[in-house]
Amino acid sequence: MKKNEKLNKWLWKWHFIAGLISLPFIILLSITGGIYLFKSDYETPRQQHIKEVVVQGAPISLQEQWQIANSNAIKKPNSVVLTTKANQATQFVSGRFGGKSSLYVNPYNGNVSGEIISRNTDMFKIRKLHGELLMGKYGTKIVELIASWMVVLILTGLYIWWPARQWSAKGFFIPRIKEGKRIFFRDAHAITGFWISGLLILILAGGFPWTDVFGSNFKELQKITNTGFPKTWEGRHLQSQPKEEPLTLDQMVAKAQALQLSGIVTLHFPKGPKGVFSVSNLNPSNLNTQKKIHFDQYSGKQILSNAWDDVGVLMRGRMWVMAFHQGEFGAWNWWLMLITAIALTTMSISGLISYILRKRKGSWGVPKVPAAFKVGYGIIVTIIVLGFIFPLFGISLIILFIFDYIKLLRKKRSIALTD
């Protein structure tokens, strides 16, 4: 591919500016993302005394355990997680996402072994730092802006790195050592970036659904195209036919167990006398096995069943990239995410060192672009498309162009005054 040298310099200028602003945030995101991968390793030993109990005799009924949970939980539980081992405490869940808390009941003596409130855990704080810089909605938008610019940094970086003349297989793998520190760190930045560029795009795709602006637009697109979860998935419009007595929790759990669903199986409680019991399973390693099944709370009759095939294509794609982003497809996925996090940190730090070694005193060291260069229509269209897909990127780019234009006008004015 023959490169346009003037375009190369123009792209390098914007790659340089965006990188300079973004690098500190990218380093933080890559480090916190890598740490969060160890969530299970960190929390399992610290929560073991709550989640595991000593097996002693026959367990008390789940209905009785439910009453104990209702009396002791901060908020009344809305679901119970089905246990798979005799030494597991029964987990009653209240709330969702950041407001989730889990109360654990010893099934043998009815004692509450403990309650885990998600927002109070160390890993929840790491996740909040990773997703919103501990700054709430403002932080989420900053992270979204940085992620949007990362897409641009990847695309421009690939073009800038692409050899203009001769190819060298060695140049794809090994930084130049004998040409000085700056060249070494620049090569380390470029080579690492080249090898992880495709993975980074995929990982970013898995992070964008959590964002405010892009995420909201994507959800709206799912609604318009009817490619999200089916309306029946949550069972909000389904009703039980009231009779004298509803099923006990033990009876309903027996029905849920008979389904033999894979992964973590949860039984959701009815909302009111006309509500329904719902059974769902979380199995990120094999999304195709996930189901949501609804039952009449009085007769126990199955009202409706939704399988993964009923979920729209955009939602299925979204869930896949989100699971990949979190390394949930097994050991290979986990190691791939960890290696990518380390590589991204290395790439960012080497880029920063290269800039410090290149920078002269009294100057930001921004690459100069020939005055006669004009951006082609293809680039303009690409920028507009990216601006629509990533609105915060589009807004930030307009602001940067305004500053650049004002700087150019001042330079012309100062030249005119000296003449």
The structural domains of the chain, ordered by start, are: 5-21+131-220+330-398 (no CATH), 39-125 (3.10.450), 229-311 (3.10.450)
Q: Minimal CA–CA distance to 209: which of 40, 326, 335, 383?
A: 326
Rounded CA-CA distance 389/386 in Å is 5
Q: Enumerate the H helices of 52-135 as residue ranges.
A: 62-72, 122-132
CA neighbor of 93 nearest in space, from 71, 72, 76: 76
For 84-122, b/e burial (b = at least 16 CB within 10 A) is eeeebbbbbbbbeeeebbbbbbbbbeeebbebbebeebe
Confidence at residue 244, expressed as pLDDT on a 0 to 100 scale: 81
> How high is the pLDDT of residue 2?
63
Residue 419 reports pLDDT greater than 70: no
**pLDDT given at position 171:** 66
Per-residue pLDDT tens for 335-379?
999 999 999 999 999 988 888 887 777 677 777 777 777 888 888
Measured CA to CA, the distance from residue 41 to residue 339 in angstroms comes to: 17
- Share of the chain residues as helix, strand and coil, in percent rounded to the nearest 5: 60, 10, 30
Cα separations in angstroms, 218 against 204, 206, 318, 391, 394: 14, 12, 9, 12, 16
Q: How far apart are CA 57 and CA 67, in angstroms?
A: 21
Whether residue 15 has pLDDT greater than 80: yes
Average pLDDT of span 305-328 = 95
Q: Give the distance from CA 213 to its chain's centroid.
A: 14
pLDDT at 141: 95
Question: In the chain, pLDDT over 90 holds for what percent of residues?
Answer: 67
* CA pair distance 280, 304, nearest whole angstrom: 12
Mean per-residue pLDDT, 129-139: 93
Q: Measured on CA atoms in the order 401, 351, 170, 151, is the torsion positive or negative?
A: negative
Residue 150 has pLDDT above 60, yes or no: yes
**Residue scoring higher pLDDT (141 or 161):** 141
190: helix, coil or strand? Answer: helix
Question: What pLDDT score was predicted for residue 1?
Answer: 53
Q: Report pTM.
A: 0.89
* Rounded CA separation 25/247 (Å): 52
Write out the two tokens for 57: 């005799």
Instruction: Report, as an integer, the average pLDDT of 307-315.
Output: 95
